[in-house]
Amino acid sequence: MDDYNQDRNIVFSRKVKAGKRTYFFDVKTTKGNDYYINITESKKNLDGGFMKTKVFLYKEDFNKFMDGLQETVSYVKNELMPDYNFDEYQRPEYNATPPAEEDFNQS
């Protein structure tokens, strides 16, 4: 299936630029009219192309995924790096921005 047909079933998308990486959080529909989340990390290769890593998250796993993510982030912030200023990353280039239409073709 080509990228165009794959992207047609996106019902919501959020693009997050984070330094050298861009993350896409897409809500997509299945053939059975159900929903899942597709998380994509995109970063530039040395040859100018993009390397993409995808995670598919299904509704039955939402709560467990969020629990695990929150516990892991909390552990890093509170146990491993309690003195680190994580708010440093609240600069505008790290904030989530809605994707432009042309971003769907480049992701």
Per-residue pLDDT of the chain (107 residues; tens, 9 = 90+): 445 445 668 999 999 998 889 999 999 999 898 999 999 999 988 898 999 999 999 999 999 999 999 999 999 999 999 999 988 777 555 454 555 555 544 44
* Predicted local confidence at residue 18, as pLDDT: 86
CATH topology of domain 3-106: Nuclear Transport Factor 2; Chain: A, (3.10.450)
* The overall pTM is greater than 0.75: no
Q: Rounded to the nearest 5°, which phi and psi values hold at 26?
A: -115, 130
Q: Where are the domains of the chain?
A: 3-106
* Predicted local confidence at residue 3, as pLDDT: 52
Check if the beta carbon of residue 95 is closer than 8 Å to that of residue 4: no
